Structure 1
Amino acid sequence: MTRKQRRLTLIGAAGAVLAIALGLVLYAMNDTIVFFNSPADIQAKNVRPGTRFRLGGLVKPGSLQRGESQQISFEVMDAESSIVVRYRGLLPDLFREGQGVVAEGVLENPGVFRADTVLAKHDETYMPREVADALRRQGHWQGEGKASQQAK
């Protein structure tokens, strides 16, 4: 085998190893690449308690309850289902019932999500694109119609 053939064989083998490594990494990250999960996604996937992820949807009107020592409970909903979220701390200033929210934390049991971070939208027409797309697919949110009417 000539020197050029050995070099090409080595480059080909290195490329194959890199391709296999990339495939394994992408396969392992398959479920964790999602920016958030809606309540319907969580029920459909049968997420096990103790799993850490982001939950996105709308804060259900009338569900906000404030307890002692900054303990807060509310429901995040989509068109199909809702999940109770428990959070200890200060909520963002723009957090309201009926508005979009993304909470990051751990599923305690199938109906309760313990959040350690809560993100709210920043003005009346903004909603994270992933949340808006999921709610629009389910036919529950019509945000762009409102924005285009306000621009006129």
Structure 2
Amino acid sequence: MSDGGFSEQERAAMRQRAEELRSATGVKGAAKRAREYDACLAAIDALGGADRAVAERLHVIVSEEAPQLAPKTWYGFPSYAREDKVVVFFQPASKFGTRYGTVGFSEDAALDDGEMWPTSFAVLEVTAAADQRLRDLVRRAAG
């Protein structure tokens, strides 16, 4: 952070979100879904290394386990939404210079488990075990 304010990466993410909202203005229905789908794929394609591998695998998992979730971007992250509300997203390590990317779930994900449950998961690579865990989480989250 700089001087207690937002970091350059955070400001860039906010600019990306503003652009996402601007680009959706006046676009509805199938055209909006197509534009959001293309933006999601472009966000994944822009990634490199482990970030790209995890994002690509998450995209396949969501497509197979929760096809009712619509691909889009959210603060520049590849994400998947139900009725325009993001349910699951991938925050790449490269976005904020962190050690690992995370698969996150919003409050609209159906993951509630008692009084406390995780909402994001660090993912270094998608092994067979990680793939299965992500599939289970995505399926549950989508409701």
User: What TM-score results when the alignment is normalised by the length of structure 2?
Assistant: 0.22
User: What TM-score results when the alignment is normalised by the length of structure 1?
Assistant: 0.21
